[in-house]
Amino acid sequence: MLTIEQQIERNAQRMTEKVALICKDTEVSYGELWERCCEEAKRLQEDASFYKGKRVILAAAGNAEFVYQYFGTHLAGGICVPIDPDTKEGRRDYIQSVVNEDFRFKIEDLDGIADIMFTTGTTGAPKGVVLTHENIAASARNINAYIGNDADDIELLALPVSHSFGLGRLRCVLSKGGTIVLLGTFANVKRFFAALDEYHVTGFGMVPASWAYLKMMSRDKIRNYADQLKYIEIGSSFMSIEDKKMLMEWLPSTRMCMHYGLTEASRSAFMEFHEYAENLSSIGKAAPNVDIRIIDGEICVKGEHVTKSYWNESPERIAQDFHGDYFRTGDSGWMDEDGHIYIKGRIKEMINVGGEKVSPMEVEDVLNAIPQIKESACCAMPDKVMGEVVEAFIVEKEPITDAEIMEIIKPQLENYKWPKKIQRIAEIPKTSSGKIQRLQLKVNS
């Protein structure tokens, strides 16, 4: 399997003048992209403090300079540690201290490691996920195979490249010889649609929060691009079935591919909205070249894209995250006879009501369907009789009483799933990638 850099070099040889990157009206050809990456590699190698396997922390600003630095560091034999440019000092210092430590547990050759991606995490300190060149090349191969990316794609990238999703989109497009337009964020909706028009964009990636913002700021304008958009990749957090159906109606010919995965196992499952019209509540099936099994009620993943280690953790500790060759995702789920996979929730977040396991997502789905509720999150609350009961946190669109909420909920859920306490809060705490931090609610309740 060729590394991502080898694939970019091949594209530079085959299509030297083709545009690879567009950033702030500047176009960079594949030939120039490869030349700039090689220059960055040479600059690092001539630095007396640089050595193969050195960890290089990069402020992932989503511009052309980051792209040169990222691939150039790999070419020089360094290990990239992409971080958000706005990372707070405490987190930055923590990451710096961790990556500065030598890799005590020799699991794989340092030359084979491409990146260390620090998870945002819903609990505890962030962990450094070690990704090899094989991991990231396999991931790009799998994603491209499912979505159908090719050299004709012109993708608008408005996701942070400090995270697995955005950085993965960059690798996917460049490995296939497509063109990527670096926008930065979805914040400027006018600029987003102007870029769709100017560059005749054929696809983009987004998280559900970005979709909610686009819909709020532009209503149904996206449907004007139904004949132009070949694909949209969606991921990182929950999206309502209502929104999925809306996109299906507005973009009837666009492949809308929603992924499931973790930093440790990027895009392990996919579902395409039109194809899965009867199974929109599932996360789809295993991605190409990926094997997924449910082991003891937990979704477990096997494939060349799966990490083998965390930075500086012992083999004994890492072994706890695997069932044999299968990585333990920490998500509780089940699979139907046709292979569709369904998530119940994070195992650590499951609520044990007198021995009955309650998925917070199941209760949240019912709450979120109430017109007066913008969003919700549920977690466990200690109870002297039942051990734990459900506690709900809601963000209101309009005022609604507890009694009115319960009147709607009771016919839809078994009584042990009913919230015993409902709290109103200004916003639901989430990670930077949009995942609900339920355990933070539990600690603060």
Place of tokens 């072994």: 319
Per-residue pLDDT at 384: 87
Domain with CATH 3.30.300.30 in the chain: 350-444
Domain with CATH 3.40.50.12780 in the chain: 4-341
CATH number belonging to the domain at 350-444, selected among 3.30.300.30, 3.40.140.10, 1.20.58.100, 3.50.50.60 = 3.30.300.30
Give 10-residue mean pLDDT values along the chain (445 residues).
Answer: 97 98 95 98 97 94 96 97 90 90 66 88 72 97 98 97 96 98 94 98 94 94 98 88 96 98 96 97 97 97 95 88 95 95 89 89 94 95 90 97 97 94 94 78 71
Per-residue pLDDT at 433: 67
Superfamily for domain range 4-341: ANL, N-terminal domain (3.40.50.12780)
Per-residue pLDDT at 124: 55
Per-residue pLDDT at 111: 66
Per-residue pLDDT at 106: 54
